[in-house]
Structures are given as C-alpha cells and as structure tokens.
Copies of this chain bind each other. A is one copy, B any other.
Amino acid sequence: MRLTILLFDGFTALDIVGGYEVLANVPGVETEFAAARRGPVWADTRRLALTAFKTFDEIDRTDIVYVPGGPGVTPALNDPTLLDTIQRLATGATWTVGICNGVELLGKAGLLRGKQVTTNWVARDKVASHGAIVGTRRYVRDGQLITGAGVSASIDAGLFLAGLLAGEQVARTLQLGIEYYPDPPFGNGTPDTASDFAKSIVRQFEAEGAERIRSLTAPA
C-alpha cells in the first residue's frame, strides 16, 4: 500500500510528520514524498526542509494521498499543478487525507461537496465555502475521506486511519511506538476554549501567514 505525501512551499512540518510517523510504520505501507520538483521543500519557518524524492508527474496513482496545511496553503490555492495532482490522485486512491487548512486544498480541488470534515479551527469558514459540512472534532471520516484538525491533530488522524488499515491492535502498538500518551503541560481543552489573547494572536498569525513566508528566506 502506497502513501503519497504532497509537499508544497510553506507547509507546516507537524501537519505532515504527526501522521507520517504513524502511517509510515503501518506494516506494508510504502511512503513517498512528492512535490512539483525534486529536492528540498521549505516549511513555513524557512528553517526546516523535507526532501521530495518524486515529482507529481512521476506518480500515476497511489493508495493514500496525504495533503498537509500551513501558511503555504493560501498561495497553493492558486497553483493548478498542485490542485490537479490532488484531484487526480484522490480520484484513484482508496484514502484521501487532509490535515489542518490543507483541507481547503481538497475543497478547492472539488472533493468536499456535501462531505463531513474537520479542519484547523481558523479555517472552518473557508472550508465550508467549498460545500463541506465542517465540524469541530479532531479527526473525521466520511467514506474514503479522512480529515484532521490543526497541526498536531495529524497524530490522532493518523492513528485513526492506522486502525482502519491494520486494526486496533496494530494502531495501539504504533501509539506505544510513538509514546503518544499526551500530557500537555498547560492542560488540555479545545481550541474554542483557548483564551481570547491566544485566539487573537493565532488568527493574526494565520491572516499574515502567506505574506510572512514570502518575506522569509531559506538558509543559503
């Protein structure tokens, strides 16, 4: 079973790595990172790069197509090559996974009409504008579509899909492998119960995200 993780400039690394660390370790899953071009693709901080070892063109089909989010989603919504690749691979895949505001890309690719989904809490209205029914859960399945809330929710979504692929016993083993028995130092909750201060800062960060990544330079 083939897992294809799509990279684009300005992704958020944990959107990818949380799900990858689970799914790439499911027995029988062969993982590949793909982008428009081979080589390093820079994350939103411009300080981390993941390596694409395939181009979109080199991939005829896959079993699981995985689309992360990040501030790079805003420019990526106008990237026909990425959107066509998402649409093409999702059509042939058994599973389509969207994480965080990467779910917007699935919407723009025409994959969400009438679908139950979740997304980053700041992206709910944008995702709904593509015809999706947007909830607030950490991961949601609608048929062959799995969506995750923001960033670290990729871990929960990945474990959920691992359970579907390989059963609960394997998923629990993977959970132990990544020692995912979380204990957030400042407590748990929901995004909606976070402080107004935190919400206003994150909303601002999100609003300025596309401009910020344009202003940041990757190391020489």
Contact = CB atoms under 8 A, between A and B. Distances in A.
Interface stretch (A76-84, A87-95, A182-190): A182-190
A220 to B, nearest CB: 8
Interface stretch (A59-67, A107-115, A146-154): A146-154
A182 B155 contact: yes
Contacts of A33: 47-48
A32 B188 contact: no
Contacts of A155: 14, 152, 182, 184
Nearest to A190: B181
A11 B185 CA distance: 25
Given A25-B45, A172-B194, 8 more contacts: A17-B17, A33-B48, A139-B185, A150-B177, A159-B186, A172-B186, A172-B198, A179-B191
Interface of A: 12-14, 16-18, 20-21, 24-25, 30-33, 40, 45, 47-51, 53-54, 100, 120-121, 138-139, 149-153, 155-156, 159-160, 163, 168-169, 171-173, 175-186, 188-191, 194-195, 197-199, 201-202, 205, 218-220
Contact of A152 (B151, B179, B189, B201): B179
Given A12-B21, A201-B173, A182 B182 contact: yes
Given A48-B33, A51-B49, A151-B177, A183 B201 contact: no
A175 B178 CA distance: 19
Most buried by B among A155, A172, A179: A179
A150 B17 CA distance: 15
Contact of A138 (B48, B121, B183): B183
A153 B21 CA distance: 13
B181 A138 contact: yes
A120 B143 CA distance: 36
Contacts of A202: 173, 176-177
B24 A14 contact: no
A120 B181 CA distance: 12
